[in-house]
Structure 1
Amino acid sequence: MDRTMIEDALYPDCPIRNILARLCDKWSLLVIYTLNKADTAPVRFKELQREIPDISQKMLTLTLRTLEDDGYVTRTVYPEVPPRVEYALTPRTYSLLPHINALIGWAIENKDAIMKDRKKARKK
């Protein structure tokens, strides 16, 4: 899947579809959340991988590249041996965090009821 070319065939200029398709995939919000837990300190790739143990190295790389392409994450490479690469959130992402945190809060508040409804629906 080419994550750099997400476009809705019927509505290619729709900002909601275009932005949410990239931001709301399986891993992007989790990576942003994990980087935010580090406060303002940059995070190395292996640290992210340890914090999100069920993401593959390939998918974490792809997700970070996509977030960097869209301006949510910065990637800093230090010319050392071995090379050191650090990731951090951008000001754009910090402006998004209150909305992400509100969504997380809503999910926590409603999780039990949603799970109960899912069980009920499976019994039908």
Structure 2
Amino acid sequence: MQDQEGTSPAPGERGVTGDLFDPACPTRELLDRIGDRWTSMLVKVLAEVYPHERGFAELRRVVPGISNKMLSQTLQHLTADGLVVRRVEASVPPRTWYALTPLGQSLDEPLAAVRAWAETNMPAVRTARQR
């Protein structure tokens, strides 16, 4: 990624965009992450309580079908990407809490539009698949 002068700016610098069609562009990795169904569901349930937190066990309960391993992996990735913040409570047993960051909260609206589109258009897609 380069800015208008052709130099490589610091990550996250405003006014700099990636090139989705460049195989080395990190935008592709981010699109894979935010296009994942578990990411979409977790952002939705964390956005419902933003800026407050939800515990790991609560997230597992409210996201049907997700395994402990997949929940843990997805939360680790979202934390590494700066979309989620993790807090460990020093108790016995330790409790882990998760909340969206402001960056993660900013992702909820575009993902909500994609979720709504998918829910609305699934019948047409199902019909097309059956043809």
TM-score band (shorter)?
0.7 to 0.9
* Secondary structure class of the residue paired with 1:88: strand
Equivalent of 2:75 in 55, 61, 64: 64
Q: Could you give the per-residue CA deviations for residues 23-76 of structure 1, whole angstroms, max 9, x where no partner exists?
A: 223422222122223343210000011112311111111111010000111101
Residue matched to 2:23: 11
Give me the whole-angstrom Cα distance separating, in 1, the residues matched to 2:100 and 2:62: 16
Q: Which residue identity does 1:11 align to in structure 2?
A: P
The letter for the 2-side match of 1:91 is P
Question: 2: distance between equivalents of 1:102 and 1:22?
Answer: 17
Give the number of aligned pairs. 110
**Is 1:100 matched with 2:114?**
no
User: Percent identity over the alignment?
Assistant: 39
In structure 2, what is the Cα distance between the partners aligned to 1:73 and 1:56?
19
What's the secondary structure of 1:27's corresponding residue? helix
TM-score after normalising by structure 1:
0.78
1:118 aligns with 2:106: no
Write the deviation string for residues 5-40 of structure 1: whole angstroms up to 9, x where unpaired.
Answer: xxxxx722x143121122223422222122223343
> CA separation in 2, counterparts of 1:18 and 1:60?
19
Provide structure 1 residue ranges, at least 5 long, that are not aligned to the other structure. Answer: 1-9
Mark the runs of 5 or more structure 2 residues left unpaired by the alignment: 1-21
Q: Measure, in 2, the Cα distance between the counterparts of 1:29 and 1:55.
A: 12
- Alignment pair present for 1:49 and 2:56: no
Q: Which residue is equivalent to 2:13?
A: none
CA contact (8 A) 2:83 2:101 kept: yes
What secondary structure sits across from 1:82 in the alignment?
Answer: coil
- Across the aligned residues of Structure 1 and Structure 2, the Cα RMSD in angstroms comes to 1.7
Q: Which amino acid aligns with 1:74?
A: V
| Equivalent pair of 2:83/2:103 in contact (CA under 8 Å) | yes
